[in-house]
Structure 1
Amino acid sequence: MPPNPSSAPPTTAATLEQTAILPQSKQFIAYQQHQTSPSFLRWRNSMSFFLYGPAKASEPPTSKSQAGLVASLMKPPPQSINDPENEGLSGRKAGLTETVGDEVSAGVNDLGDQAQRERCEKWTNIVVKDSPLLHFLIQNLKKSGCPFDPKLHFKCAPCDKSRAGGFSPEVGVVLCQNSLYDKKHVEETLAHELIHAYDHCTTRVDWTSCRQYACSEIRASSLSTECGALREFRRGNFGITKGHQACVKRRAILSVRQNPFCTRPGLAERVVEEVFDTCFQDTAPFDEIYP
């Protein structure tokens, strides 16, 4: 079970110094103030937070916010969707290895848009109800002044087939209905995006900073269970020493590469290396890495 949130380790001075993430009062007003900062607005104008891959033009947006979200998703990601390493938050494959992924994607895409949406919503309702991991994250977002209502802030939508989901403070968490192949995949994707939401809520993150972006990606991949031993085995990554850390680092690098402020060759690898130890050890709001 998730640890008691009251005993979660505080963010250390070393963490703040090394990642340049400033402490933030856990009040919603601080969250709102940051949304008007120049760095936030530059980022929002460039892309939606953590959302990658084109949405289908045939799926009409249901609100003004979603209209902007769909428009932001129409630009294809810089990496090829056929790249077997294209699997992080910002390039998460529908499957686990290239072969399995193709098989799974074929099964998912046999359904029409409406059937995919209904299945996505059904699975989301089940995991939100039953998952102690998601309960814990949603509870801690509420305690931090950023309450998440799954009925309002979790949305299923069609995306590029290599994507599983994303987070935007203007919309919430988007699940890619045409890429999710089972309830466990939905749970992992929601957990990953909720870690980003928690970081956005509780720290004064500059999302244009490659170091801070990398830190949140490291935490999201580590704490969401997506780098568990079984997941890595099914991806074909066998016998890796410190396999969890290797998975987290690999996926964080892939995600940072897709940040338009971090495209310089070698930059993603460098910043992930620089902040990895500190950010990997920062397990808030957990006491330790969720098994």
Structure 2
Amino acid sequence: MSQFYEDIKTCQKGMTTSLWMMMNNNNYGNMYMLSILTGKRVNKLLQHIKEQNKNGCKMVTRGLDLRVCDSVEDAGMMGYYSSSANQVVVCCNRHREPEELENTVVHELIHAYDFCRFRQLFYCKVRACSEVRAYSLSGSCSSPDELSGFTSKEQCLKARAIASTIMACKKSAVSDVHDIYNTCINDEHPFKSSPDHHVLKPHELPESDKVVTN
């Protein structure tokens, strides 16, 4: 455990570690971090993402980077996926425990996976669906601390998904999350296969559902 905190301190001093490159080039300079980020869930996602890359959807070609986040744009974020940069960024200065770090990586890789799977993240309902899936599949709203102030796990997950969707989708975020919740909470791809009725169909959404800014 102490190595985790040493690695976090190293990152907080301003060093950026490209974990994707570490995995591919066997550069294990940050051993404890690597053991967390090559766990079962992350590996499963990376395998599917690599397959999608082979099929022409370049979703994480620039890697998975661990860095200090201190700009106004990323205020409060634990990490983020940038489809324009083809990169997942994990904010090392905002993680206190190894489990937090792993959950953040899973959350952002779900977004990367959904970007290629749905290819329509500029639709508000698709974005809302990806947020519900990312929070659920990364293990959010599972601890007593996270559930504090909520009457149920569902209420907690909806609140988090709305908060993450509202920047892009403004007034429709609340209704979007509620509309797609039952479908998307049961969509566990790529960890488990889901029945067809538990998979959102972006091609059936109206043009009016598009996000104003991507």
TM more than 0.5: yes
TM-score range, shorter chain: 0.5 to 0.7
Structure 1: runs of 5 or more not aligned? 1-106
Question: Following TM superposition, by how much is the alpha carbon of 1:148 offset from its aligned partner in structure 2, in angstroms?
Answer: 7.7
Task: Identify which of 153, 162, 165 aligns with 2:63.
Answer: 153
Task: Identify which of 120, 125, 140 aligns with 1:205.
Answer: 120
1:195 equivalent in structure 2? 110
So what's the TM-score if we normalise by structure 2? Answer: 0.67
1:115 equivalent in structure 2? 13
Helix, strand or coil for the counterpart of 2:148? coil
Task: Identify which of 170, 180, 187 aligns with 1:282.
Answer: 187
Aligned residues of 1:193 and 1:220 also touching (Cα < 8 A): yes
CA distance in 1, matches of 2:132, 2:126: 10
Provide the alpha-carbon RMSD of the alignment.
3.2
Higher relative contact order (CA 8 A, sep 6+): 1
CA distance in 2, matches of 1:148, 1:247: 29
Q: How does 1:42-191 map to 2 (within 5 A)?
A: 114-115=12-13, 117=15, 122=30, 123-129=32-38, 131-145=39-53, 153-160=63-70, 162-169=76-83, 170-191=85-106
CA distance in 1, matches of 2:43, 2:10: 31
2:145 equivalent in structure 1? 234
Between 194-203 and 279-288, report the one with greater CA deviation: 279-288
Structure 1 residues 271 and 188: alpha-carbon distance in aligned structure 2, compared to 1, 3 A threshold: same
Task: Identify which of 221, 225, 247 aligns with 2:135.
Answer: 221
Question: Following TM superposition, by how much is the alpha carbon of 1:139 offset from its aligned partner in structure 2, in angstroms?
Answer: 1.1
CA distance in 2, matches of 1:270, 1:253: 9
Structure 1 residues 215 and 148: alpha-carbon distance in aligned structure 2, compared to 1, 3 A threshold: closer
CA distance in 2, matches of 1:136, 1:177: 22
CA distance in 2, matches of 1:198, 1:177: 22
1:24 equivalent in structure 2? none
> Which residue identity is paired with 1:249?
K
CA distance in 1, matches of 2:97, 2:59: 23
Aligned pairs, number: 170
Give a deviation string over 1:171-216, Cα, whole Å, max 9, x none.
Answer: 4110112111121111000000000011011222142x21111011
CA distance in 2, matches of 1:138, 1:199: 13
Structure 2: runs of 5 or more not aligned? 20-29, 195-214
CA distance in 1, matches of 2:165, 2:80: 14
Question: Following TM superposition, by how much is the alpha carbon of 1:120 offset from its aligned partner in structure 2, in angstroms?
Answer: 10
Identity of aligned residues (%): 29
Helix, strand or coil for the counterpart of 1:220? helix
Helix, strand or coil for the counterpart of 2:179? helix
1:19 equivalent in structure 2? none
CA distance in 1, matches of 2:89, 2:34: 14
